[in-house]
Structure 1
Amino acid sequence: MLKMAQTAGTGTPDIDDIIENFSLLDDWDDRYRYVIELGRGLIPLPDADRTDANKVQGCTSQVWLATAVERGPDGPVLDFIGDSDAHIVRGLVAILLAMVSGRTASEILSADPIALFEKLGLREHLTPQRSNGFRSMVGRIRADAQAALAGA
C-alpha cells in the first residue's frame, strides 16, 4: 500500500514516502499514474499567483511557482505552491515541492533535486524537454533560496 502522509503546506506526501512509493511500483505505467496522482493532490494555486513573475521560464508547459519566505530560528524558511497546465509536469512540481517546501534556504541550497530526479528514474523516462523544465524549476527554487539568504 502506498504511503500518503502529507508534507505541510503542499498537499503532497513527504519526499521519503514518495521515494518509497516509487520503489513499490513495478512498471512505468504505474509510476506515471502515481506522478499524475501526486499532481492532483497539490494545493490549488490561486489565480492571483498565476503571474508572469511566478511563471517558470524554460519550461515547455506553463509552470508557476509562488514563494513565501518566513523568518525561522535557523534562517529564512521558504514555502512554495505551484501548478502546471500539464498533468505529468504538475506531478513533477509536487515531487519537487515535497523535497523543498517548508525547508530553510540553506537546506534547499544543499539539497540535490536533480539527483533525486535521476534516482527515481524520471530523467530516462521523460522527454528531454520535460527534464529541462524540471531543471528550470530547480533553478528558480534555488534562486529564491539565494535571494532569501541575501535578504536575511
Structure 2
Amino acid sequence: MNDQAEAALDEFQQAASWEQRARLLMQWGERLQPLSAAEKTEANRVTGCESNVWLVADWRAPHWHFKAASDARLIRGLLALLLVRVQGLSPSEMSSLDLPGWFAQLGLARQLSPSRSNGLNAVLQRMASLTVPQS
C-alpha cells in the first residue's frame, strides 16, 4: 500500500463516528484534481455508474496516474479514496484489489450500497482496461 493510502487509512480509522468519517469523505473528494471540460467527454465517462463519473489515465513512468470526477459529492470522496489506493499498481494488481475490503478498513462499508459498489467496480475495471497496452 502506498503512503497516501496509508495516510487515508490512518485518518479514517481515527474517526470515531460516522459524522467524522462523512466529513473526511467530503474533504477527500475536494482533493480530487479537477477535470477540464475537454476531459469530461463521453469517451472518458465510466459506464455502469448511476452518477456521472469520468476517468482519465495518464502514463508517467514508471506508473499510471488517474484523474476522476463525479457530479455527486459522496462519489467524489469514494473516487478519491479509490485513486489513492490504486496509484502505482499494475493492471493485474488492480484487478485483484479487494475493493469492499479497502472500504471496510476505512469504516465506509455501509456507504457501499450494491449500486455504489457496482459503480466503483466499474471504475476499477475501466482503470485496468485503460492500462492494458492496445494491440
8 Å Cα contact 1:67/1:80 also seen in 2: yes
* Residue-by-residue CA offset, 1:35-73 (whole Å, 9 max, x unaligned): 11100111111111101111111111111010112443x
The runs of 4+ residues in structure 1 deviating greater than 4 Å are none
- Identity value in percent: 34
Return closer, same or farther for 1:127/1:106 CA change in 2, 3 Å cut-off: closer
Q: Secondary structure at the match of 1:117?
A: helix
Task: Supply the distance in 2 between the matched residues of 1:101 and 1:50 (Cα, whole angstroms).
Answer: 21
Partner of 2:34: 44
- The CA distance in 1 between the partners of 2:111 and 2:102, in whole Å, is 14
Normalised TM-score (structure 1): 0.77
Q: Does residue 118 of the first structure (1) align with residue 104 of the second (2)? A: yes
Alpha-carbon contact 2:13-2:107 (below 8 Å) kept:
no
TM-score using structure 2 length: 0.85
Task: Report if aligned partners of 2:46, 2:54 keep a CA contact under 8 Å in 1.
Answer: yes
CA–CA separation in structure 1 for the residues paired with 2:71 and 2:19: 21
Matched, 1:23 2:17: no
Q: Which has the higher contact order (CA 8 A, sep 6+)?
A: 2
Q: Aligned-residue CA RMSD in angstroms? A: 2.2
Could you say what secondary structure the match of 1:43 adopts?
coil
The question of whether the paired residues in 1 share the 8 Å contact of 2:92 and 2:128 is answered with no
Runs of 5+ in structure 2 lacking a partner? none
Residue in 2 that maps onto 1:132: 118
After TM superposition, the structure 1 stretch with the greater mean CA deviation from structure 2, 114-123 or 35-44, is 114-123
